[in-house]
Amino acid sequence: MKEVMIPMERLPVTAEADICVVGGSCTGVFAAIRAARLGAKVVILEKQNRFGGCATNGLVCMWHSLFDITREKQIIGGLTLETLERLGKRNAASPFRTKQQGIRFNSEELTLELDAMVLEQKRIRTFFHTFFSRPVLNEDGRITGVVAENKSGRFVISAQVFVDASGDGLLCRAAGVPMFRPKTAQPPTACVHIENFRKMKNLELKELIEKNRTRIPNLPCGYFWGCDIPGSEDIYMLAGTRVMNCNCMDADEITNAEFESRRQVRALMDLFRDAYPEIPVSLQALPSEIGMRESEHITSIGRLKGDEMLADTRYPDTIAVGTYPVDIHGNTDDSITFKLLTGVKQIFRSNLLLKQERWLPEGEILPYYRIPLSCLIPAGTKNLIAAGRMLDADAEAFGAVRVMVNLNQCGEAAGVAAFCSLNDQKEMAKVDAVLVRNLLNKGGSLIPCDL
């Protein structure tokens, strides 16, 4: 491979802040808002034109329940609840103080709401259309800035503390944090918006796909799900495409995954039109990027392990709670495995239930699990914390905590921890987790204190 030597550069410091957040997903936005509300000056940079990540750019318009598994006690509040309350005032979210399993929202309205929430914080400066390039490190390994690039050129953002909310752990990786990628990382999926989907009565996707297997041989019959979009009469979000054997940290592979996911979408749309010629089924929206479930993980000061988490371990540094089940999509086939907190384990293949058994004794349930701060703190760093799907977890734990309603909370915790590190002049690994949890609850979170 040919190489080119890039000359040394002298770059302008375009922004100076207390805390810099790399990535503007809900996770990153919630980190920035929490830190700003505590008094920190924050810069947040985002490669796309809007905040929200998978919830907006990815069209994944559902957050899971705010209640424990009994549906009797609300355990999730904070900025997730605040955002839903704000959306609810515009009829842009389904009821969320009920015992339902999931909460639907309008992704476009969420885009506007996140804008408003950030702009209300005068201590936050935003850079859209801006790409993270690399960190600036001093001699003892502390990050002093990040190099970023946009249409205005290449520049440096300096800060005291950094939050990596890039999803892929790009800042962590570039800062020298040891990273790992599971051999069977969960595959990416492209969600789509379809008009008049509900009008296709008696639609059985598995049967339709299998019936046309000869004509369209390479269409996975995975676990399809979806929902109606609040504020829209006839638009339905459908998820179910699956790009297998994809390394989401490889640029060529993720490029091919974008092509492949859209090929699968077109194949599905053609099947719908052929099967229901009398119904004007139409494709209304594609995601601006494929939804990546998993790419790389940091090596943290405390890996989250599924067997411990599902054994109701009460971590002293708990900063989030959840009830979403272990949900593992096969990376080499169209299988999916659920481990529900009701104590039931299910294995599906080609959208059919193959096996069901109990993983807890009959009559036992796990009301909710806990997520510790330690799995967000990269090993060997001083002023860096990760928030998002790059957190340190084994396959089982990650299968549960990877969804937005959990990572939203991790973002809030990262923002508060970043503030505590700054305010108390402590390295991230030495931040008082009890203080972080207390500040989270003071700011609206509902993290149980039964530790």
The C-alpha angle with vertex 431 and arms to 427 and 432, in degrees rounded to 5, equals 160
> Does the reported pTM lie above 0.75?
yes
101: pLDDT strictly greater than 90: no
User: How far is the C-alpha of 388 from the C-alpha of 369, rounded, in Å?
Assistant: 17
Q: What is the pLDDT of residues 404-414, one digit of tens each?
A: 999 999 999 99
206: pLDDT strictly greater than 90: no
* Closest by CA position to 299, among listed 178, 183, 414: 178
74: pLDDT strictly greater than 80: yes
User: Which structural domain, as residue segments, surrounds residue 399?
Assistant: 13-182+372-442
100: pLDDT strictly greater than 70: no
- What pLDDT is recorded for position 7? 85
Are 86 and 161 in the same domain?
Answer: yes
390: pLDDT strictly greater than 90: yes
pLDDT band for position 152 (50/70/90)?
A: very high
From 309, 337, 366, the end of a domain falls on: 366
Residues 322-330: what's their mean pLDDT?
Answer: 95
* Closest by CA position to 334, among listed 206, 216, 208: 206
Are 59 and 129 in the same domain?
Answer: yes
Question: How far from 253 is each of 245, 261, 288, 296, 388, CA to CA, in Å?
Answer: 9, 12, 17, 14, 22
For the chain, what is the domain count?
3
Residue 106 tokens, joined: 């309008």
Residue 4 lies in a domain: no
Are 83 and 201 in the same domain?
Answer: no
Are 26 and 143 in the same domain?
Answer: yes
Residues 30-52: what's their mean pLDDT?
Answer: 99
Cβ-proximal residues to 376 (8 Å cutoff; 6+ apart), any chain: 300, 319, 385, 386, 387, 391, 392, 410, 413, 414, 417
Are 17 and 151 in the same domain?
Answer: yes
Contact 47, 129 (CB under 8 A): yes
Are 48 and 160 in the same domain?
Answer: yes
Are 56 and 105 in the same domain?
Answer: yes
367: pLDDT strictly greater than 80: yes
Are 67 and 19 in the same domain?
Answer: yes
Are 135 and 167 in the same domain?
Answer: yes
Are 345 and 412 in the same domain?
Answer: no
- What pLDDT is recorded for position 21? 99
Give the CATH number for residue 147. Answer: 3.50.50.60
* Closest by CA position to 15, among listed 166, 156, 162: 156
Q: What is the pLDDT of residues 217-251, one digit of tens each?
A: 788 877 789 999 999 989 999 998 999 999 999 99
Are 137 and 38 in the same domain?
Answer: yes
